[in-house]
Amino acid sequence: MNIPNTITSFRIVLIPVFIAAFYLPYEWAPALATFIFWFAAITDWFDGYMARKLNQQSSLGAFIDPLADKLMVNSALLLIITKYPDNNWLLFSSLIIISREIFIPSLREWMSGMGKSEDVTVSFFGKVKTVAQMFALMFLIYGQDIFGLQTYVFGTGLLVWAAILTLLSMVIYIKSAWPTLTSGK
């Protein structure tokens, strides 16, 4: 296994560690869980950078990298829903994001099978959504005020913003794929 795939695999191994840290009954547990999530987000960027820099891109990496992302993000979203069960903004935003994480990869895979993968490449909204989503999740996982900043309120607002961007990126993906989807093939 090459270096980037090892890093990605390590990110997958971090998921149960992240979940365990989230539920630890200690005052410092939210900081640890937030750090693990942040570290996983950084390694997501780093493994892609290393794959390009070392010319070690692989079909395994192309499969496990987005899988690791979706497993970590969806785990975090589910944990957030359980941490703040009365916040419908978080619930609906999380459901939108999780639904997108199922729908868009399926659409990409189908379009690839049709020889049209270039029609559903990553959009600008998708990248901005990812950044907003990662910061929102870090604030919500931590859940404690930082220098007077109410991370719960700020994180909720960011996650709602990420959900709006998620919907926009889905519209862009569907619009790009629409001619192929309706071609009758």
82's CB contacts (< 8 A; 6+ apart) are none
**CA distances for 120 relative to 131, 164, 177, angstroms:** 20, 19, 7
Which range is least confidently modeled, 8-17, 76-85, 144-153?
144-153
Model confidence, pTM:
0.89
Instruction: Tell the burial category of 8 from Cβ atoms under 10 Å away from its Cβ (0-12, 13-18, 19+).
Output: buried
Cα separation, 91 vs 78, in Å, equals: 9
pLDDT, tens digit, 9 for 90 and up, residues 109-127? 777 777 766 656 666 777 7
Cα separation, 40 vs 69, in Å, equals: 9
95's CB contacts (< 8 A; 6+ apart) are none
What does the domain layout of the chain look like in residue ranges?
Answer: 1-71, 84-178
The continuous run of DSSP H or E covering 115 comes out as none
